[in-house]
Amino acid sequence: MNEYENFKTIDFVNDPGFRDWIFHRKQESGLFWNALSEKHPHLRGEMEVARSFLLNIADGQPAVTDDYIEQFANKILSKHQKRHDRQVVKPFWQRYSVSTFSVAASVLLILGFAWFYSAGSKFAFVSDPETSQVPGQGELIKEHNNSDVAKIISLADGSKVTLQPRSSLTYPAAFDKSIRVVRLDGQAFFDVARNPDQPFLVHFNKLVVKVLGTSFTIRSFDSEEKVLVTVKTGKVSVFDNEELTKTKEEPNPSLNGIVLTANQEIYYKKDEKQFQKSLIANPVIVDRTVREEDFVFEETPLIEVFRKFEKAYGIPIIVDENQVQNCTLTASMADEPLIEKLNLMCKAIHASYEMIDGQIVMNVRSCRK
């Protein structure tokens, strides 16, 4: 069991890693804490209270040390100790046996942040269910599509999301500088603005898609047994949300997840927790430099034909080059769907193909003259 699952507010306040993140000392750990709040929604309130406490005692200081936090918390403890010693402080000490800093923080939290509000705190909780705050992301906006048509949402980074009916998207008003995180319930098409320095993560149904800049569709309804991710352009990694909470360091999705490229899709069976990767039903040309007229071949070396297919559709083609050495193709396949192109080619060269794991595997029996 993850040790953080049962954390309370005071535990987050006392956690050095959490404080480093809140005070921007180690911003790369933000992925871990965001993932933790996604995996365990019951922790979000505790994390927000801890975040508000830490930010308020920082009081705008450019550099906040642990000594400063302890001294400030001790002042708060001194102010409230006499009035609340019997009711709050003693039982808390007896239960947790924590440091003076922990007790001071706990007293303030249990008192409901009365001191902060009386002092004119600039951090407040949002009661509106359509907006909320998550550590490191600030104000979150939740868009629902209760209509019968798709709804286009523009994000702060220039990305576009086409939200389908019966779906909702939760996203920050302004993204964190190191990462972009949103949450989807339902179905949407994402056209993500490319930024290698600011990865884009979509959380949905205990899964995560990570991209730098691409376009793809996610279908993830609670009422359906399967989750579907389909890539139109670029490359994405799909992996289980638990991968993010195994370590505070950012995981490498290319190793821990399943990589999808253009015209590939992946099904995830919720009950079996299994991924199934395949090609989409009707692959389309994704390389704009390739035209349909380019699929007219006249004694063209077969290996060049395969590379043309790979370039145009972005789909890996597995073939034994020794098997097709000195083989050529003469055929006109312009304006034909990919599947028909493959069928015509296989008929001409006495070959067959299979679609395995999102790739095309060619079996050329004999094409030599």
Residues in the chain: 369
Burial class (CB in 10 A: 0-12, 13-18, 19+), 111: middle
C-alpha dihedral (361, 364, 365, 369), degrees to nearest 10: 180
Paired strand residues for 267 = 228, 276
Average pLDDT along the chain:
75
Tokens read off for 165: 């009916």
For the beta carbon of residue 178, count every other beta carbon within 10 angstroms: 16
Q: What angle do CA 129, 268, 199 make, to 5 degrees?
A: 60
pLDDT value at position 275? 87
Q: How far is CA 223 from CA 82, 134, 205, 227, 228, in A?
A: 54, 27, 11, 10, 13
pTM: 0.59
User: What's the rounded Cα separation, in Å, for the pair 174 and 134?
Assistant: 12
User: What's the rounded Cα separation, in Å, for the pair 35 and 294?
Assistant: 46
User: What's the rounded Cα separation, in Å, for the pair 272 and 178?
Assistant: 34
- pLDDT interval class at 169 (50, 70, 90): very high
The structural domains of the chain, with segments of one domain joined by +, span 3-118, 137-279, 292-364
CATH of domain 137-279: 2.60.120.1440
User: What's the rounded Cα separation, in Å, for the pair 233 and 226?
Assistant: 22
Q: How far is CA 70 from CA 13, 42, 81, 91, 253, in A?
A: 11, 27, 16, 21, 38
pLDDT value at position 90? 35
**Is it the case that residue 317 has pLDDT exceeding 60?**
yes
Looking at domain 292-364, which CATH architecture does it have? 3-Layer(bab) Sandwich (3.55)
- Average pLDDT of the residues in 112-137: 38
pLDDT tens digits for 36-73?
877 788 887 778 777 767 766 554 444 445 554 555 54
User: What's the rounded Cα separation, in Å, for the pair 369 and 367?
Assistant: 7
pLDDT value at position 60? 40
